[in-house]
Amino acid sequence: MTCNPVDLAYRYQDASIPQHSRGVFREAADPSIVRYNDRYYMFASMSRGFWHTTDLATWTFAATDKLPILDYAPDVRVIDGALYISASRRDEGCPVFRSTDPLADDFAEVAVSAFPFWDPNLFQDDDGSVYFYWGCDNKEPLYGIRVDLDGFRQIGERAELINSDTETRGWEQPGENHVRQEPRTEMERIIAQHMGTRPFIEGAWMDRRDDTYYLQYSAPGTETNTYADGYATSSSPLGPFEYSPYSPFSSKPGGFITGAGHGSTFQDDFGNWWHAATMRVSIAHSFERRIGLFPAGFDDDGVLFCNQNFGDYPMVVPNGPIDPWTEASPGWMLMSRGSNATASSSLEDHGPALAVNEDIRTWWVAGDSAAGHWLQLDLGSAKDARAIQVNLADHDLAAFAPAVPDPAPKDHEVRGIYTDIQAPEYTLEVSTDGDSWATVADTREDGVDAPHKLVVLSEPTPVRYVRLTGYRMPFGAPLTVSGIRVFGVGGGEQPAEVSATVKRVDPLTAHLSWEPVAGADGYNVRYGIHPEKLYHSWMVYDADELTIRSLNAGQRYWFAVDAFNESGVTTGVTVADA
């Protein structure tokens, strides 16, 4: 079982703008995942290493200083039976590395590109030829070229593949909910000044399925909830490419954690497709980010999709082929949103209710950094719990963390990545009466850095109270929690069916409204350009309307609003725009 955000030992970094600001925060982004020699390898930005797993559920970090530490968007692909890794440098040629035994840290530089690039992606076709894709800009398109890996030499001329088109693609419009926001910080101001009013087109990833090439790309910006991946197809690896109106195929603008852009698409041992993507926190820094993993696939018409319905609820890690729409979920629902939360102490404006409001960007903070502070939930009654996710956060770490020992200039900042960080230590207990407690997790015993730990209970367990007690935290900071999330199977009635009213406001925008139904905890709005292919979704709470600005012009859309609660999901009536 796994649950987004993926529970990784996300690395801490120190980022400062001299004389302006300093932030210390976790980050991993732009994930490239490949299957190699019966193991999956994930390379992600600002990690000073990589992760590996055999089951897509438990990831182990492996450090290396043989790869560039601060080069963004590392790409890994299997070429001629070896791993090839490259990352981004804007003003000079980028090194390319090769490995046949990454766990032995055998990375060796084999070439340096003759030109700078950002957001690289290598791809080997069925005939053995190798192609290279790159681009991360709000003016330039994505490019592609055939290359000879011997010296990373270009073969032929580069091809322009795809650029932004905000006149016809609503999802490429920048901004939170595709509406521009004023910068909050100096770094956000610098980014906004550099970005202007156009989206960044970035994060190329290429897959071939049968005789079709799928060029995937991301837009409009990583720091918003609307960061997403779209795609275009061609019968040739260098195009011309035709934009798919099913874009974006990866998009998660609502729920506990949002954003699902700049990622990679791969198959597991059983032929199931997955899409890994970048998810947004962006509080301590615009690039404070996490990794998401979603079931994906291709339908009978060759349409690429992700199943991101309830995309931050627990998911099944399969041991065989599965249907990504019907078999990826264990059917567990959220039981803890809005529950009564109390704590041993709290910082001002960071009370315990912020740990149960289903927003990773807000959090409870203990009043000081002493060991023994606790956060407790009362679910109201004993409920059939199956799993609990503990999401730790980082509050004002610049006040606690020493300067990183090896900083270096990076774009407009000075950056560095910490090593040998104290793993968070806490216990997680459950109870039916508040007097007798059972420990279900104790991270003091394993020393594993698990900031988004999913604790799957050994059997269905009646739970009314949940208590998290903190001990030692990274940098000696206070215990900070963005979400304790309890999942299980409710015993009540599912909510009634919803029939929404839809108005097409303009070519890129639709407005939905509906009557709230009794018993609903929230709503999952599904939509798409075919009544049987509602592949997009947007989760909302405490709402009876939603404006969607991510549509493609010239396409008719269909919508359904599914109501959900602790007992399940009631599928809504599918209606077309008008």
- Structural domain count of the chain: 3
Domain finish residue from 454, 488, 522: 488
Q: Please give the pLDDT value at position 184.
A: 67
pLDDT digits (tens, 9 = 90+) for 72-111: 999 999 999 999 999 999 888 899 999 999 999 999 999 9
Give CA separation, 469 vs 310, 360, 388, in Å.
28, 19, 14
- What value does the CA radius of gyration of the chain take, rounded to a whole number of Å? 23
Q: Please give the pLDDT value at position 196.
A: 66
Q: Please give the pLDDT value at position 20.
A: 81
Domain identity same for 72 and 130? yes
Best CA proximity match to 289, nearest among 277, 298, 299, 300: 277
DSSP state of 399: G
Domain finish residue from 271, 306, 341: 306
> Which H/E stretch holds residue 485?
strand 480-488
Reduced to 3 states, what is the DSSP secondary structure of residue 397? helix
Contact at 8 Å (CB) between 252 and 308?
yes
The encoded tokens of residue 90 equal 């804007």
Averaged pLDDT, 432-438: 97
Q: Please give the pLDDT value at position 35.
A: 98
Confidence of residue 185 (pLDDT cuts 50, 70, 90): low
Q: Which domain holds residue 505?
A: 501-576
- Give the CATH number of the domain where residue 381 resides: 2.60.120.260
Burial pattern 497-527, b for ≥16 Cβ within 10 A else e, equals ebebebeeeeebbbebebeebebbbbbbbbb
| Mean pLDDT of the residues in the chain | 95
Averaged pLDDT, 151-158: 92
Residue 100 in domain? yes
Query: Does the pLDDT of residue 356 top 80, yes or no?
Result: yes
Q: Please give the pLDDT value at position 412.
A: 84
Domain identity same for 348 and 300? no
Confidence of residue 194 (pLDDT cuts 50, 70, 90): low
Q: Which residue has the tokens 């509080």?
A: 283
- Give the CATH number of the domain where residue 553 resides: 2.60.40.10
Domain finish residue from 488, 516, 551: 488
Among 118-127, 192-201, 388-397, 471-480, name the one with the lowest average pLDDT. Answer: 192-201
Domain identity same for 64 and 207? yes
pTM listed for this prediction: 0.96
Query: Does the pLDDT of residue 191 top 70, yes or no?
Result: no
> Which H/E stretch holds residue 186?
helix 186-195
Torsion of CA 8, 10, 11, 16, to 10 degrees: 170
Confidence of residue 198 (pLDDT cuts 50, 70, 90): confident
- Give the CATH number of the domain where residue 246 resides: 2.115.10.20
Averaged pLDDT, 195-211: 89
DSSP state of 435: S
Confidence of residue 516 (pLDDT cuts 50, 70, 90): very high
Domain identity same for 159 and 291? yes
Q: Please give the pLDDT value at position 147.
A: 96
Domain identity same for 548 and 445? no
Q: Please give the pLDDT value at position 90.
A: 83
Residues forming a β-bridge with 467: 376, 429
- List, in order, residues 6 or more apart from 9 with CB less than 8 Å away: 51, 59, 61, 423, 448, 449, 450, 451
The Cα 562–Cα 512 span in angstroms is 13
Query: Does the pLDDT of residue 215 top 90, yes or no?
Result: yes
Domain identity same for 247 and 363? no
Residue 9 in domain? no
Residue 462 in domain? yes
Q: Please give the pLDDT value at position 192.
A: 66
The Cα 109–Cα 51 span in angstroms is 20
